[in-house]
Amino acid sequence: MTVLVTGGAGFIGGNFVLDWLSQLDEPIVNLDKLTYAGNLQTLAEVEGDDRYRFVHGDIGDRELLNKILNEYQPRAILNFAAESHVDRSIHGPGEFIQTNVVGTFTLLEAVRAYWLGQDDQAKSAFRFLHVSTDEVYGTLSADDAPFTETNRYEPNSPYSASKAASDHLVRAWHHTYGLPVLTTNCSNNYGPYHFPEKLIPLVILHALAGKALPIYGDGQQVRDWLYVKDHCSAIRRVLEAGTVGETYNVGGWNEKTNLDVVTRICSLLDELSPRQDGISYAQQITYVQDRPGHDRRYAIDARKIERTLGWKPAETFETGLRKTVVWYLENQSWVEGVTSGQYRQWLETHYRG
Ligand code: NAD
Ligand code: DAU
């Protein structure tokens, strides 16, 4: 038995591969295009592991997909591969349509052909698990109930629209062709190996570098935060026991304003790596221009996955955030590896002025 993950050199996929190999004997194949967000340093510790194979390539490459599927005969595919950053989708949506929509379509078609060629037993045991986001549901006001699996899709950014489109394709491939699919819609992840274009790692690294901590707009936007290892355990549980064709919301029951998140990071850094002048890192907080179309609030109702599959997050926001800050303080070489010229160019373009 083998599973195939796509996008396994990224933040969540990388954590998923590491957790899988630390807990299970089943081999895992990782197909990743290695965009700016993909980093093999994350997977250095499993490089020589017989249970692990890396394939460099694109989920939009049908020929390559056919070859990998035939060679490794996976019993499941976990689709993490995506362009994932909302701000980048605003600057340049094309790649998001290409990978998230066309890429997912190409992957579904290759997997459908492969799945049809399996015997009846393998066919019914097969799973295609699509990793998606809560952003497909749009935005909430302060007194709205959290998103459930039956909320309408109302994506507001090019990123969330492209993810919504991919979710619809996955759903249709089940209804029309019978492909055994599962979809998870998760809230904001944080933890080790998070690329520093996203809020939490960006703020940790900017604080330590003595740079401004950029808060978009009034900083009162709300996100629900989930420690990445908890997301990985939810995905393993859905893969193992989820009902084919169903979607599962995954969240941490940790709604926080952005300002609260940034202030907590500053307090942790004040304790763990204080500034030499004794002033709090919070002094570096700077309000900057808001993100266009910025969703005000996301909140996840994760009762379905808890009730039906018995999954609950293990970390609180306090324990998870402390682990994360400590990880960044202890893993400066990983940080140096990913903060290349391309990354610096992004900061220059996006935070200019
Ligand atoms: P990421 O940007 O850190 O990693 C994406 C990975 O996909 C990278 O390794 C990249 O090289 C790879 N990739 C991109 N295009 C590819 C292509 N065409 N073919 C093969 N590989 C390709 O993203 P992430 O934060 O790890 O997110 C993983 C998945 O989880 C995404 O589908 C995202 O939408 C979803 N998600 C993310 C979050 C979050 O908070 N980060 C929350 C919910 C859902
Ligand atoms: O909700 C799940 C989604 O969470 C995932 O689908 C996305 O892939 C992931 O990137 C994340 O999207 P967000 O846009 O919520 O994450 P980001 O870290 O970019 O921003 C979190 C919040 O912080 C958001 O309200 C914007 C704000 N922000 C972000 C940055 C980078 C700032 O105020 N300043 C910043 O510099």
- SS3 (DSSP) at 342: helix
pLDDT (0 to 100) of residue 353? 54
Q: Which two tokens stand for residue 144?
A: 């709205």
| Active-site residue (options: 83, 135, 167, 315) | 135
Gap from CA of 288 to ligand 2 centroid (Å): 14
pLDDT (0 to 100) of residue 200? 98
pLDDT at 352 over 80: no
**Pair 265, 285: CB distance under 8 Å:** no
- Which mutation among 95, 131, 147, 188 tests ligand 2's pocket best, with the greatest number of atoms within 8 A of CB? 188
Q: Cα(340)–Cα(342) distance, rounded to whole angstroms?
A: 5
CB neighbour list of residue 333: distance below 8 Å, 6 or more residues apart = none
Q: Write the DSSP symbol of residue 293.
A: T
214 lines ligand 2 (CB under 6 A): yes
258 lines ligand 2 (CB under 6 A): yes
**Pair 238, 184: CB distance under 8 Å:** yes
Task: Report percent pLDDT > 70 for the chain.
Answer: 100
Question: How many C-beta neighbours within 10 Å does residue 224 have?
Answer: 25
12 lines ligand 1 (CB under 6 A): yes
184 lines ligand 1 (CB under 6 A): no
Atom of ligand 2 nearest to the CA of 86: 14
CB neighbour list of residue 315: distance below 8 Å, 6 or more residues apart = 227, 229, 230, 252, 323
Alpha-carbon distances of 203 from 229, 302, 348, rounded to whole Å? 21, 28, 16
- Residue 332's Cβ-count burial label (10 Å; 0-12, 13-18, 19+) is exposed
Radius of gyration of the chain (CA): 20
Tens digit of each residue's pLDDT (9 = 90 or more) over 291-346: 999 999 999 999 999 999 999 999 999 999 999 999 999 999 999 999 888 888 88
Ligand nearest to the CA of 220: 2
Tens digit of each residue's pLDDT (9 = 90 or more) over 32-73: 999 999 999 999 999 999 999 999 999 999 999 999 999 999
Tens digit of each residue's pLDDT (9 = 90 or more) over 85-136: 999 999 999 999 999 999 999 999 999 999 999 999 999 999 999 999 999 9
Q: Write the DSSP symbol of residue 28.
A: E
Q: Where are the alpha helices (DSSP H) in the chain?
A: 11-23, 62-72, 86-91, 94-96, 104-116, 120-125, 158-177, 199-208, 228-241, 258-272, 303-309, 317-330, 332-338, 341-350
Q: Where are the alpha helices (DSSP H) in 126-255?
A: 158-177, 199-208, 228-241
312: which strand partners? Answer: none
104 lines ligand 1 (CB under 6 A): no
Tens digit of each residue's pLDDT (9 = 90 or more) over 134-162: 999 999 999 999 999 999 999 999 999 99
CB neighbour list of residue 279: distance below 8 Å, 6 or more residues apart = none
271 is catalytic: no
What is the pLDDT confidence band of residue 255, given thresholds at 50, 70 and 90? Answer: very high
47 is catalytic: no
Fold of 3-350: Rossmann fold (3.40.50)
CB neighbour list of residue 294: distance below 8 Å, 6 or more residues apart = 216, 217, 221
pLDDT (0 to 100) of residue 302? 98
- The whole-chain average pLDDT of the chain stands at 97
Atom of ligand 2 nearest to the CA of 258: 23
pLDDT at 167 over 90: yes
Gap from CA of 18 to ligand 1 centroid (Å): 16
Domain coordinates in residue numbering, the chain: 3-350
159 is catalytic: yes
- Residue 219's Cβ-count burial label (10 Å; 0-12, 13-18, 19+) is middle
pLDDT (0 to 100) of residue 343? 83
What is the pLDDT confidence band of residue 260, given thresholds at 50, 70 and 90? Answer: very high
What is the pLDDT confidence band of residue 237, given thresholds at 50, 70 and 90? Answer: very high
